[in-house]
Structure 1
Amino acid sequence: MLAKAAHALAEGQRKPEPKDLWAEPYFVASSWKPCAEQRDWQPSEGTNGYIIVTANGGINQQRVAVCNIVAVARLLNATLVLPKFLYSSVWKDVSQFGDIYQEEHFIDYLKPDIRIVRELPQELQSLDLEAIGSLVTDADVVKEAKPGFYKKYILPILHKNRVVHFLGFGNRLASDPLPLQVQRLRCRCNFHALKFVPKIEETGALLIRRMRQNVTRLGPLDRHLVGPFSKSMMKGERNRGAKVARYLALHLRFEIDMVAHSLCEYGGGEEERNELEAYREIHFPALVELKRTKKLPSPAALKAEGLCPLMPEETVLMLAALGFNRQTRIYLAGAHIYGGKSRLASLTTLYPNLVTKENLLSSSEIEPFKNFSSQLAALDFIVCTAADVFAMTDSGSQFSSLISGFRVYYGGGKMATIRPNKRRLADIFVKNNTIDWRTFEQRVRKAVRQTKRVFSRPVGRSVYRYPRCNECMCNT
């Protein structure tokens, strides 16, 4: 099928791309407008005590944790100490909140909502929080905890000790039910209060400008992503006849941790199985134990259910079937792809204009970000969010979810996002050797088109991913 795709791309140079390829097909999407800035309450005085949070995970998990703890601080009428980030042996990044986000903007913007301070009062700094029962870990908080949990179990600790430290605060606040204004505060934090530091904004603007080949154009999300540096995107070709420089951003979620955790197989035979099992032994011991004690679905069954990440070979087939021509400029986000360059060969051969931030930046430009995976991920976040089309290969990815949410919130219904239905695609890929290219194209386009429906946030789902709801956006 890759040979058929290559032939189709070669033939495709002589025919136009599908009409709606670079656009959202549903006009109704434009009727939703951002309105999370609307407030209908008085500022919280934060008199019930202080909340410290040390968020775990990568930049995306940390971002969600920060927005959730802001909501918890409001629920408990507590003062929030500026968030800290837990060092991870996986991410190996010492970046703290102020290395990624603008602290002053965060504090000032949320002042009408909650009280935020930079550190605990002097008299509380010497307390042994674990000894007095003020250290709360993820194990102490149920997943998707409702407001009642915090009022019943956390508020008494605040009243008694005046401080609570949430260590490793992840997905520990329910999406529903929450009071409308508290839910709106979550949206306000994510879409308005968290702005990247100037160093990240400036380099993000530079990357976007280079992806657009220096053609003068300001995208709908540029000023929200890079602030004052969006002005630099207006420098360049001003020729009215200049070709529109569009680009597609692709988040290929195919790092070794994702591949190993999926329990799927990717065509590498016994060598691949041994390598991934060894990785699980070190990084996912609980999963290894589960494999030993329970009968889990086979790799083929997982694939059929759409539970395996798309391989680069499958991704290139999807893009070609959708109609992206061979000259499409593609920005590849993410860390190290499992299998390296050889695994990416099919993608780079059929789409030679594929680049990464490492290709686009000089050694001196990328140097300040080296060894800081979260800051590098922030650059990917900016370029992917600003792209004319964003394609994800795993809709469950936190990174892809946050980006698609931003594109909905600020995109005005114009920012096309490709969310493949992996279950449908898996069925198509299984039969790809027995059908002709035209039939394959039609099936892939139908499977992807079905995921572009415009709907309001389903109950219990994240407002960061699905901001089309009364708490975040207004339907005009």
Structure 2
Amino acid sequence: MLLIFDMGKEGSARNLYHPSHVDGSANAKASWTKKNYQGRYVSPANGLLVHGMKNDPASFGTSKAMPCMKRQMVICKHLRMVAFVVGLMCSFFLLDSLMLTVIHHISFHNGPGPRKSKVPQEVRSRFDDMEKTEKIMYGRLISLASTALAKNGFQHGSFAQWEEPEQAAKWRPCADKQNLVHQEHAKKKTGYILVSANGGLNQQRVAVCNAVAVAALLNATLVLPKFLYSSVWKDTSQFGDIYQEEYFINYLKDDVNIVKELPSHLQFLDIEAIGSQITDMDIMKEAKPMYFVKVVLPLLLKNDVVHFLGFGNRLAFDPLPSNLQKLRCKCNFHALKFVPRIQEIGSLLVRRIRKYESGLTELDKYLLGSYMPDAPTKGHNISGEPARYLALHMRFEMDMVAYSLCDFGGGETERRELQAYREIHFPTLIMRIRNNSISPEELRNLGRCPLMPEEAALLLSALAFKRETYIYLAGSQIYGGQSRMLPFTRLYPNLITKEDLLSPSELAPFRNFSSQLAALDFIACATSDVFAMTDSGSQLSSLVTGFRTYHGRGNAPTLRPNKKRFAKILSENRTIQWNEFEERVRKMIEENQRVTVRRRGRSIYRQPRTPGCMCQAPNRIPSTLL
């Protein structure tokens, strides 16, 4: 409310607002007087005109009018006093609200920004939005994180966030060594195995390696895998569009026979009609090798061909003969190399993230091939930018958010939007909800909700990553868009994606191929100095983690939160102090970074520290190529 006062000669305050703004009674309206341009007051109650000098007899008329006029002046005086008091109280309320807003704003933005932004203004502006659209659930913790980031780079902390535990360097790759499978390779072939892999890039990769192992198990010839078109991924890419076909065939030639297509006499065979098509519905998840020997082998011997339609995660990790386990590792970590055009743009992407020709690692050598940048002079830094960057896979897309059944602070509008998405894309989930519902609060406490961008920012803040840290975001379709990302970018403004660093013409060949775009993200994440994830169950995060473990030589740390423990910590957001928040988050991450041998039943693609895949070495291996 805006208050306007007219101070007279004697310093009395005259409120010029209509009293109906303060008191809507008929009496107040009837006794109101307005000041005209000559300094007079007009009383609408009796039509009298009152001049400013009370001792002027001509101004008052007869003496009978004097008591009436005095009463009116007293009433006006009281009304002005009431209006003044009410207005003063409103002013205090307004001032109080304004001060709270200013304090919150200052607290949130406290601290200087980086001395020199590493991200161009046009890149950062993509994340700018109106303050009022910002979605935030942990305002207090975000404010504490902002204050902590301003304290000169966490000088009090000692968390080694850029390093792996020392024991990690004692493990080295050995899946490419001589395998025993080739000794059985010369036997007569049992038939041909076709595989049509479903899902996205990473799920297809798992299916291909499992198919290689099954072909070796059954002594069959593997036809180069096909990729199914998905209405979700909408990608028509085939094996040869992503991976080097000839390299794949030749690298595994001593272990399994691979051909590009079926022989002519089988090409027009109705495989489904003869009963040789096997879908994911026909095979239990992580089936044991004996299933393939008892069920699939007889079909091969009878019909000379078997078609696995889908073939996601359908081969168990244990028990499995060590030579087949080693072959799966060999396929995943050595035989599947990206085609040159993906390597070329991937190399360009990594160089632009690093902003200079960095020291080259085994990860660079494998993923970029002949497109590796020339090794720079030791210690030379062309651009003056920091050498290191963090890659973050933030699994917060629409499908993940909707499937989780969690609440993310968007109110009724968000709930309706997510429910509509579920009804279209997850009809079976809708039926499950009706039969066994669980509240969003319970889901969050159990750690079943995907981490929001602001939660990811809090995680990095607690781990002592500075505000200036250069962060590559894998994938850019964050649910909620810019408003959802604002809490993150206010703490970490140097955030970029492949769309920021590559020109439209450089991205054009990949634009309509989600798996090929995912391959670029895979390269940027795998070659990063630190890789952080928000969901350890995602295929990209799992495969990148395993790839960094296998080829990283003990110099490729991965940060993986325990979502249930993190949810417990965040549930205390209204009372927990920042020092305690840091300590508990760091302890959680350190426990997940312990170097251990793969446990039985766990994925070798994510945890390759297992006999036949990786071997222990007594001495640390140099991290860079000389």
* Corresponding residue number in structure 1 for 2:193: 51
The farther-off stretch of 373-382 and 45-54 is 45-54
Equivalences for 1:64-463 in 2 at 5 Å? 64-232=206-374, 234=376, 238-239=380-381, 244-293=386-435, 295-463=436-604
The Cα offsets for residues 125-145 of structure 1, whole Å up to 9 and x where unpaired, read as: 111111111111111111111
* Corresponding residue number in structure 1 for 2:8: none
Distance 1:67 1:9, change over 3 A: same
Q: TM-score, normalised by structure 2?
A: 0.74
Percent identity reads 60
Asked if the contact 1:215/1:236 (under 8 Å) is kept, the reply is no
- Aligned equivalents of 2:175, 2:255: Cα separation in 1: 12
* Corresponding residue number in structure 2 for 1:7: 147
Q: Letter of the aligned partner of 2:474 in structure 1?
A: A
Q: Letter of the aligned partner of 2:168 in structure 1?
A: A
- Aligned equivalents of 2:156, 2:513: Cα separation in 1: 42
CA RMSD of aligned residues (A): 1.7
> Shift in Å at residue 241 of structure 1?
11
Q: TM-score, normalised by structure 1?
A: 0.96
* Corresponding residue number in structure 1 for 2:77: none
Asked if the contact 1:214/1:235 (under 8 Å) is kept, the reply is no
Q: Letter of the aligned partner of 2:486 in structure 1?
A: A
> Shift in Å at residue 235 of structure 1?
9.0
Q: Which has the higher contact order (CA 8 A, sep 6+)?
A: 1
Q: Letter of the aligned partner of 2:148 in structure 1?
A: A
Q: Quick check: 1:37 aligned with 2:180?
A: no
Q: Secondary structure at the residue paired with 1:140?
A: coil
Q: Quick check: 1:470 aligned with 2:611?
A: yes
Q: Letter of the aligned partner of 2:512 in structure 1?
A: N
Distance 1:20 1:220, change over 3 A: farther
- Aligned equivalents of 2:283, 2:334: Cα separation in 1: 27
Asked if the contact 2:154/2:466 (under 8 Å) is kept, the reply is no
- Aligned equivalents of 2:357, 2:224: Cα separation in 1: 40
- Aligned equivalents of 2:308, 2:281: Cα separation in 1: 11
The Cα offsets for residues 266-297 of structure 1, whole Å up to 9 and x where unpaired, read as: 1111111111111111111111111112x233
Structure 2: which 5+ residue stretches go unaligned?
1-140, 618-626
> Shift in Å at residue 430 of structure 1?
0.9
Moved over 6 A (4+): none
Asked if the contact 1:216/1:235 (under 8 Å) is kept, the reply is no
Larger radius of gyration: 2
The Cα offsets for residues 307-328 of structure 1, whole Å up to 9 and x where unpaired, read as: 1111111110111111100100
Q: Secondary structure at the residue paired with 2:568?
A: helix
- Aligned equivalents of 2:238, 2:391: Cα separation in 1: 27
Q: Secondary structure at the residue paired with 2:373?
A: helix
* Corresponding residue number in structure 1 for 2:3: none
Q: Letter of the aligned partner of 2:174 in structure 1?
A: C
Pairs aligned (count): 474
Structure 1: which 5+ residue stretches go unaligned?
none
Asked if the contact 1:59/1:374 (under 8 Å) is kept, the reply is yes
Distance 1:139 1:235, change over 3 A: farther
The Cα offsets for residues 430-472 of structure 1, whole Å up to 9 and x where unpaired, read as: 1122122222111211121111111100100110001001120
Q: Letter of the aligned partner of 1:205 in structure 2?
A: S
> Shift in Å at residue 298 of structure 1?
1.7
